[in-house]
Amino acid sequence: QVQLLQSGAEVKKPGASVKLSCKASGYTFTNYYVHWVRQAPGQGLEWMGIINPNSGGTSFAQKFQGRVAMTRDTSTSTVYLELSGLRSEDTAIYFCARDRTHAGFDPWGQGTLVTVAS
Amino acid sequence: EIVLTQSPGTLSLSPGERATLSCRASQSISSSYLAWYQQKPGQAPRLLIYGASSRATGIPDRFTGSGSGTDFTLTVSRLEPEDFAVYYCQQYNNSPYTFGQGTKLEIK
């Protein structure tokens, strides 16, 4: 079945960087865009950006411009999110989600908790 | 940026009752690009409705999406115990692909 499997929880100090992975299975990796969405504790969903696994092209929410990167490895069907200059406000669960091409985001990965604390 | 405002913030109902959740956009959205998600504690969001009114695979027919332009509605006709959760609307018409702040559907 179509599945996105994310890497495990991370604990980082302020100012550090984190790189998360999201491995796709059950479908042709290069045929569907992938989004990253985060959720701070007790808060709502915040869209961060999108990557085209075929071309590697990306687009980010303005809020994250300059400190976010999204990459992919087609040989392993994996997309990556790297966030730099971490601050306490970046503590959140980070989700990847497949874009069903004008039909919503589905499925979602299980989420990765990133904790930023000194 | 399109801002989505959901109401009410919390809805307290009993199993078997009907739930009506609202999502209002700050500017018109093509109906093709409005989705609803359900999220339970400790879980990832699950796609319920896309294109404003199309149910995703495996979603029971008690979930109905409707609306157009700037006003959209998710209706749950007869609440089951497993329906109590947080619901988000989302527009994917224009980047950034924004979400509403969520409606918590709780057991009365």
Distance CA B38, CA B88 (A): 7
CB–CB contact A108 B45 (8 Å): yes
Instruction: Report the residue of chain A nearest B93, measured CA to CA.
Output: A102
**Residue A53 pLDDT grade (very low, low, confident, very high; cuts 50, 70, 90):** very high
Is some CB atom of chain B closer than 8 A to the CB atom of A62? yes
CB–CB contact B92 A102 (8 Å): yes
Tokens of B4: 């989505």
Averaged pLDDT, groups of 10, chain B, 108 residues long: 96 97 94 92 97 96 96 96 97 94 97
Tens-place pLDDT, residues A61-97: 999 999 999 999 999 999 999 999 999 999 999 999 9
* Minimal Cβ distance to B56: which of A47, A61, A106: A106
Residues contacting residue B91 through CB under 8 Å, at least 6 positions apart: B2, B4, B25, B29, B33, B34, B35, B97, B98
CA distance B101 to chain A (A): 6
Distance CA B89, CA A46 (A): 12
| Residue carrying structure tokens 């990765």 | A112
